[in-house]
Structure formats: structure tokens, C-alpha cells
Amino acid sequence: MELLRGKPKERMKKRRWLLLAVSFLTAAVIATVAIPPVRWRIHLVALKATGQIQDLSWGEMVHSMVHRGSTFNATYLLKTKDPYSAIFAPAPTPASIRAGRELFNQQCAPCHGEDAKGGFAPNLTKGNFSHGATDWALYRTITDGIVGTPMQARDLPAERVWQLVSFIKDSRNATTLNKGINGASSPGLSLGIDPTFEHLKAAADNPADWLTYSATYSAQRHSRLSQITRDNVARLRLKWLYQFAQFTRGGTECTPLVVGRYMFVTLPPGDVWALDTRTGEKLWSYSYPVSTPVKNTPVHNRGVAILGNTIYLGTLNAHLLALDAATGRLLWDVAVADNQDGYGITSAPLALGDKIVVGVSGGDFGIRGFVDAYSPVDGKRLWRFYTVPGPGEPGHETWGQGDSWKRGGGSTWLTGSYDSDLDLIYWGVGNPGPDYQGDVRPGINLYTCSVIAIEAATGHLRWHYQFSPHDEHDWDSTQIPVLADAIFQGQPRKLMYFANRNGFFYILDRTNGKFLAAEAFAKQTWASGFDSAGVPIQRPEGHPTVGGSIIYPNSQGATNWWSPSYDAASNTMYVPTMEGSDVYKKGPAVTMDYGNYLGGSATFGPTWTAVRALDAATGRLRWEYRFPPREPSIVMGGLLSTGGGVVFGGDDSLMVALDAGQGKELWHFNTGAGIAAAPITYLVDGRQQVTLVSGMTVLTFSLDAK
């Protein structure tokens, strides 16, 4: 009986221990899920154990997770399962480069020559790495060697391998070696193709590179570089050129990006070339395969964005691509919209810290415009803001009672600007559809022909200002919003300057969108002024009619995608300007066979073009430079101002350098083809260069061609 009574007690005791064990395991599982450092490590181990992560040994993985001697991006590795896009060399320092150089000359120079300049093994300073040029590819080549060659595996501590990688990258990107070795920081980001969000935010202070479409997030397109001045610009000579093998109709409108030795240039439908900034030699190229004919979209591509070692590119068929910046290898490809519905991407994306922001073209083809943000890691869409509000959204009431909003236009086909302190993205919005006929869309048609301020974190609208309510002239407001901290009427303000296609120069408070001032910078006959809220007072004769109305400016606008430039030192805004009128005719709203959604027509009249320097505080003209007469055209080039007191620009095939203070022509060059892009400037081996894409050619200039 005692034995019988004891068994239940033993069972109770075992049950208690079992409950304790289950509770412990449950707590461990909860801790694993709840604690991110534990969770991502377990996830990586699982991926490695199942063979999903290649080219990363168990020892290398454990070392990276525990010691973190490299820049180890666990998020990238989890998403891409590709160590080549997730593991980078530590941030280089003069000391690490010096140590890498010494080690290289001890162990590698017998084959590759002193300072990697070549012996019977390749010259590594040319950057031609047949086994991969990413940081991790260089690391693995050093540690594993190359079978069948004298390149043997190296048994070195990880820290020493990364020092070698830092030195090789420094040599590859043509850093001024003596400066680096002596401890002075080299200009720009020439230590590697890896500009971070912090680099992009500080781009104005590091003018050796050109890191985003408008040079900086403020979109001022002004460089502090001053080696080329008013006094010596006449010595500019062509240093090198690169001519694309294929021809694209419509010409090139690309603004190249420059990071160290690498220049990135684009052509439609989605092609990228990486060129050597020293020689123009092609380093790699990528051509996007378009499987079906592109519908509707204008045949243009205006450039790329860069973040880390990844290039981001939009395509004519409305895809967003990520490419390895060192090799051109495709990392991911996402569809932003359906090209068969008229959508495309012709603008350069805007790269922020954890977002790639992109707009769409197709406003004349009955689309509903938007601005998107995507993850730079895997292309996942993070948010979308529609520029034409749908039912239940603020602003929908401005489209009348029908379904006009569904084909309302509002494209977003130029790159915006960004204020990192306010965390606001500013983007210009295109015109409503159909062109020239507003009866089918009664109301002011928000948010077309506006500038919008979007919260970068959420995609929510903070404020908007509409330049041309109920536009009937095809006056997109996709021009570049230029940001400046300046004095307005005696008070420091966070301002936005906006030279609009409708002929007015606007000054807004960029914190809240408040209208401060507007001044016509070109001839216009559609508005007599503005009310106190900044709403334009439109003239009755400023609308298209069935019989035709002559209205200034023409349908291409007083300015367009042609980038302006702003010099904060002189508080001067430089604006590419076109003067001319159209005969605007109103007609029925129809969809053409080729896709255009139109409500009339505009007959292009005679035009002439100029660079105009405006007092940014008032919008009043300071000086004007007129380009020579040429055939009627809808294009001209953008502008660049520099710390040397020079403004570069172009029209037709004439590239010019102007005195920034007076507008006097100091230098010119006939490019032999149409200019529809904007020039850039940067440093190579410590010398200032200027590059412009004209026709199908990349032209690069320097003083005395040195």
C-alpha cells in the first residue's frame, strides 16, 4: 500500500520537472524571438545550415557576427543571402591604408609590383578584378587565392586582410597616395564605392564627388570647387570623350554621378555605363532587357542614384533596378507600375538612408501619378503617395463628381529634393490630364501643378502649394525645388526657390508651404498677380479657346527639366529660360492611337533661350546671357555654378562658361550635338574636371587637358 501511495508522488514530481523544462524552453524561444541580436544570428545560422548562403565559411560567419571587424550588414545578408552585397571593409583610415600598403609591398609586390602598379601579375590600380571587385570578393581572393595561378591563399588575421583590401581600394580609386599615407584625408569618397546616407547629407562639404542628381539634397547644383576660375577658364580643353555605340532618339538628358574613379552614365531604356573618370575608359556596362515594346513613355533617362555600393536605376517600362556599383551585376528588379497603362520612369531616383524614392512619367497618357519609396535592400515598396487623390482622400473634391481623377495625370518625372533636419521630401508634380481642356475635370485638380512636401518616414503629405490651379497649358510643375537657408525680408527662413514652367519664380517657406513672394522671370500673359494666399489671379484671355489663343509662355514653359543652380554666397538663382508663345487650341478630350490623352493642341511658335541670373530674395533680374539664334526646339541644357565664379551651361550644341557676377561669356565649345543635360564638376587626382553629356557623347574638360 505504501508503494502504491508513493507512485502518484513520483509522477507528480516528474510532472513538475517537466513543466519547469517546458517553461524554460518557452522562455528561451520567447527570448530568441524578442531579442533582435539573438534572432538575426539564429536566422543567419539557419540560412547557412540549409545551404542558402554561399561563399561564407562557418568561421568567417562566426567571426563577423562576434568580432564585427568588418562592416557587416546583417539586414542585407538576411534579405539577399549574398555576402558580396552585405560585407564591407571597415571605414578606411590613413593608418589602415598605410598598414595595408606595407603588407602589400612585403607579400604581394613580387608579383603585382610596388604599390600594386603591376609586374608579371596585373596592375591592380586599374581596377580590373576578374574575380570580383566588391569588398568581400577582394577579401576572398586574398584569403583563398586563385587556383592555377601563383596567387596563393594567405593565412592572415581578418584585420590584416581588411587592411590589404583598404589599400587596394585606395589604389584602385586613384587616391592621392602621398596625402593618404602622410595622414591627410584625401578629397571626396575615393576610398571606395560606398557613399552612406551621412556622406550624401554632407555632399556640399565634399565637392570632390557628385553623389546625387542635383549634387546635394538641397538641389542647389552649386560646387565649391574653385580651381577653374573666371581668370583661367579660357584654358579649358577637352581631356577625354566617350561615345556610346548605340543611338537613342531624343538625345541624352543624363546627369552623371561621380564617386572616386567611377562615373555612372545612363541611356534609355535602362542602360548604365561605368567610366573611368581619369581616362573615359569603360569599366563595365549594363543593358536592361526589355522583353516587350515600351508603350507611351518619352525615350529618356536622366540618371541613377547611389547608396552604399549599390546603384539604383529606373527604366522606361517602369521598373526599379539595383545594381552592384563595382561590377554592374543586377541585384534586384521590381515593377513599380504597368507600362502598358502608360507608366514609365525617366528620372533619377533619390536615395535616402533607408529608402529609394522614385517618381513616374506618363502624365500625358492618362495615368494617375504617384511618388514611391522602396527598400534599398530588396526593393520592397514602403509607401506610396498618390498625386491625384481618390475617393475619401483630401483633395478628391477638386476633381468634380465624375471619374476624371482616374486619368488625372499628375506625373512626377523629375527628381525632388530633401531636408534631412525636417525629414521632408519635396517633389514637383505634373499637369492634369487631358492637356488644353479642363471642362472634363472641373475644379483646381489637386495636387497637379504643385510642389508637395512628403514625410520621408511615412509617405504622408505635410503640405502642398499649387502653382497653376486647373492647368490647361501642359505646364508641369516638375521642376527642381531648390532649398536654401537665407534671409527673407530681414528674417532668417528655411526657404524653397522654385522657377516654374508657368513663367514665375516663387519663394516659399519650406517648413509649412506658406507663399512668400512670386515674380515673373519670363514673359507671361496668363496671370495678373496673386492674392494674399498665393493663389494666381488668372486673366480671361489666358485660357485655350476653340479658335486658338496666343499665350505666353509656350507649352514647353519658360523653364522645364533644365536644372537651375543657386549660389548661396551671392544669393543668386541661375535659371535656364525659354521665351516664346504658343497658339493654344481647345478641343474634345480624346485618347490618340499612340496613347496620348489630349483635349486640344498647342502650335509651337518662335523661341529664344537665355541664362538668367535672379536675385533670389526678390526674383528680379540681375543679368541675362542670350544664346545665339537657333532652330525651334523644346530642349536646352541645365546649369552649374562653382566657387570659381563660373556658371556652365549650354543650348543647341554650344557649351558656355559665363562670369557668375556679370553673365559675360568667358569660354565656349561646340559639342557637335544637341545639349539637353546639365554639366557637373568633381576632382580627379586632385584636379577639377567638368563633364557634360551631349548627344551620344560624354565630354570631359580640364585646364590644359591635364
pLDDT, tens only, 209-265: 999 999 999 999 999 999 999 999 999 999 999 999 866 555 689 999 999 999 999
Q: Which of 4-13, 50-59, 284-293, 685-694 has the lowest mean pLDDT?
A: 4-13
When mean pLDDT is compared across 150-164, 342-356, 645-659, the lowest value belongs to 150-164
**In this predicted structure, what is the pLDDT of residue 680?**
98
Tally of CA atoms within 13 A in the half-sphere of 345 that contains its CB: 29
pTM beyond 0.85: the answer is: no
Q: CB neighbours of 484 closer than 8 A, spacing ≥ 6?
A: 218, 220, 495, 496, 497, 566, 568, 616
pLDDT over 60 (residue 173): no
pLDDT given for residue 554 in this prediction = 96
> Cis peptide before 553, with omega less than 30 degrees from 0?
yes
CA distance 60 to 158: 9
C-alpha cell at 284: 563595365
**Catalytic residues, which ones?**
474
Chain region(s) in the chain for CATH 2.140.10.10: 222-703
Q: Which helix (H) or strand (E) holds 661?
A: none
Supply φ then ψ for residue 523, to 5 degrees: -65, 130
- Kindly indicate the confidence band of residue 20, based on its pLDDT and cuts at 50, 70 and 90: low
Cell of 502: 508657368
List Cα–Cα distances, 676 to 174, 251, 563, 704, in angstroms.
Answer: 31, 7, 10, 26
d(CA 557, CA 578): 7
What's the pLDDT tens digit per position in 3-19? Answer: 334 455 566 666 666 66
Three-class DSSP category at 683? strand
Please give the pLDDT value at position 255: 98
| CB-based contacts of 391-397 (< 8 A; 24+ apart in sequence) | 394/461, 395/446, 395/447, 397/443
How many CB atoms are located within 10 Å of the residue 545 CB?
13
- For residue 175, the model assigns a pLDDT of 38
Cα→Cα distances 148→57, 138, 224, 500, Å: 22, 18, 50, 63
* Confidence band, pLDDT 50/70/90 cuts, at residue 522: very high
Q: What is the CATH number of domain 55-186?
A: 1.10.760.10
**500: three-class secondary structure by DSSP:** coil
Question: Is residue 447 within 8 Å of 387, Cβ to Cβ?
Answer: yes
Q: For position 184, what pLDDT does the model report?
A: 32
Cell digits of residue 445: 485638380
Q: Count of residues for the chain? A: 706
Output the nine-digit C-alpha cell for 559.
523653364
Q: What confidence tens digit (pLDDT) does each residue in 57-114 have?
A: 887 777 666 554 556 666 667 766 777 767 877 767 778 888 989 998 998 888 888 8
Provide CATH 1.10.760.10 ranges for the chain: 55-186
CATH 2.140.10.10 fits domain 222-703:
yes
